[in-house]
Amino acid sequence: MRESSKAHLALIVSGLLFGANYWIAKGLMPGFMQPMQIIFVRGLSALALFWLVSLLKDRQGILKKDHLILALCGLTGIAVNQTFFFIGLNLTSPVDTALIHSGSPVIVLLFSAWLAGEKTGRSKITGMVLGAVGAVLLVVQGNFSSNGENHLLGNTLIFLNIVSYSLYLVLIKPLMLKYSAVTIMKWVFLYGFLFVFPFCLPSMSILQLNIFTPYAWFSIAYIVIGTTFITYLLTTYSLRTLTAGIAGYYIYMQPVIASIIGIVLFSESFNIAKVLAALLVFTGVFLVNRTQEIRKGA
């Protein structure tokens, strides 16, 4: 299998895991855990996993000058991104969250063009537009059952969450030319955890593990291993071969996956509009990837 194919497969798996997270993370809050409690457990557990893997098989050193970029990645990709996502999701609904996330690939594209000089051709722009239309159509067709307490504040935080993560994807791309994914992640999560640690302590003192059901334990395990350790590793790995813009585009998969889960597990309706929306997303994937293949052949 070619490296580019492996990178796309990594992003597909990452999209699958993230797509289910809308339902799973919302199910934890606020009944079992508060947002900052999830962030603390998620950050500390993922940090331990990345450093353990690094000690066992990857002890690559880091140049001193690159620690500043790693710290910025920890701030944008971990601290701000995760804090605003979980607090925002707690205040708003999964449907609003998925809708706002539909704009993330466009923001990645803008940051890529501005900071990394990534070129945007007609095919890529067309793919982005088709994907955005498909993702929005899927979200508005959905029937997410959980409402929020403060949609305006929650939606604002979710928007800042995707801006921060989009910037993270562009900042971390150059580091993949120097270091392995595990080496990058262990430092990014270290800096990110240090940034959020003081803000998590008050809520950790009131965490009640005795109220956890088997579903709650499964949910936190999924968030730590699935949507943190595995997804961050896969996304970082994909950036060795693909551009930040293409990696960001796969965020459009998340509403598709969330919609499928809703149909299979939560009795959402299956209709032509959802089929059309999914086709638009995957047509967009083809057009965005076609741009990269043409450039490689040129």
**Bigger pLDDT: 272 vs 173:** 173
How confident is the model over 27-79, as pLDDT tens digits? 888 889 998 999 999 999 999 999 999 988 777 889 999 999 999 999 999 99
Residue 191 is predicted with a pLDDT of 97
Q: Is the pLDDT of residue 143 over 60?
A: no
Residue 59 is predicted with a pLDDT of 77
**Bigger pLDDT: 206 vs 265:** 206
Give the pLDDT band of residue 184 (cuts 50, 70, 90). Answer: very high
In terms of residue numbers, what domain contains 118?
A: 3-297
Residue 218 is predicted with a pLDDT of 93
Q: Is the pLDDT of residue 156 over 50?
A: yes
**Lowest-confidence pick of 88-102, 133-147, 161-175, 249-263:** 133-147
Mean pLDDT of all residues in 115-144: 65
**Bigger pLDDT: 187 vs 155:** 187
**Bigger pLDDT: 240 vs 152:** 240
Greatest mean pLDDT among 111-115, 141-145, 227-231, 240-244: 227-231
Structurally, the chain folds into a number of domains equal to: 1
pLDDT > 70 in the chain, percent: 73
Give the pLDDT band of residue 297 (cuts 50, 70, 90). Answer: very low
Residue 158 is predicted with a pLDDT of 83
How confident is the model over 215-261, as pLDDT tens digits? 999 999 999 999 889 998 898 888 888 877 777 767 767 766 766 77
Query: In whole numbers, what is the pLDDT of the chain averaged over residues?
Result: 80
> Which phi-psi region, left, alpha or beta, contains residue 146 (left: φ > 0; alpha: ψ -120 to 50)?
beta
Residue 198 is predicted with a pLDDT of 93
pLDDT > 90 in the chain, percent: 28
> Which phi-psi region, left, alpha or beta, contains residue 61 (left: φ > 0; alpha: ψ -120 to 50)?
beta
